[in-house]
Amino acid sequence: MLPPSPFPEKAAAPKAGFEITPGEHAHAVRVRYADSDQMGVAYYANYLVWFEVGRTEWLRARGYTYRSLESEGVFLPVTEARCRYHAPSRYDDLVWIVTRVGRLGRTIVRFDYRILKEDGTLAAEGHTEHCFLSSEGRPVRAPEPVARVLAGGKAEG
């Protein structure tokens, strides 16, 4: 067990300055120095990394993990990615990755994202589309437990 934090104000979970819908999940990240350029602005490619964080945490919040999906022999490679930038995120900013499933097909899933600044300002928005692939690299239907989670349910167990 860890001792209590000497900085209890930093131990508290951050509060979002915006609302999310029931199908969305919000996860906070702080823009690290390594994430920014010489002007202190978050490098554009980091938004795609944050999209991955959002998607992973969206699944985890519903009781499912990428690791469990892959252990079942199903993979979700990105087939399309899009990001539109609206306002810069800067070093040490707290940004929120808001994620939801935008579309679910038999063999594809699209995740939609918003990157919001602490005050709710839209920094970026975009999506990634994924194809369900078998370990042999062939498109497959989403396994039933995964399809249930992606459709808005929770993992069993």
- Give 8-34 as a DSSP string: HHHHSPPPPSS---TT-EEEEEE--GG
Environment class of residue 48 by beta-carbon count within 10 Å: exposed (0-12), middle (13-18) or buried (19+)?
middle
Is the CA virtual torsion 147, 148, 154, 155 positive or negative? negative
Dmax (CA) of the chain? 52
C-alpha distances (whole Å) from 2 to each of 5, 12, 145 are 8, 15, 36
Q: Report residue 73 as tokens.
A: 């022999």
User: Which one of 3.40.50.1370, 3.20.20.70, 3.10.129.10, 3.40.50.720 gives the CATH number of domain 21-150?
Assistant: 3.10.129.10
**pLDDT-based confidence at 157, cuts 50/70/90?**
low
**In the chain, where the domains are located:** 21-150
Q: What pTM value is reported for the model? A: 0.86
Judged against a pLDDT cut of 90, whether residue 60 lies above it is answered with yes
- What are the percentages of helix, strand and coil residues in the chain, rounded to 5? 25, 35, 45
Mean pLDDT computed over 10-14? 56
For the segment 127-155, what is each residue's pLDDT rounded down to a tens digit? 999 999 999 999 999 988 889 889 987 66
pLDDT digits (tens, 9 = 90+) for 68-114: 888 888 899 999 999 999 999 999 999 999 999 999 999 999 999 99
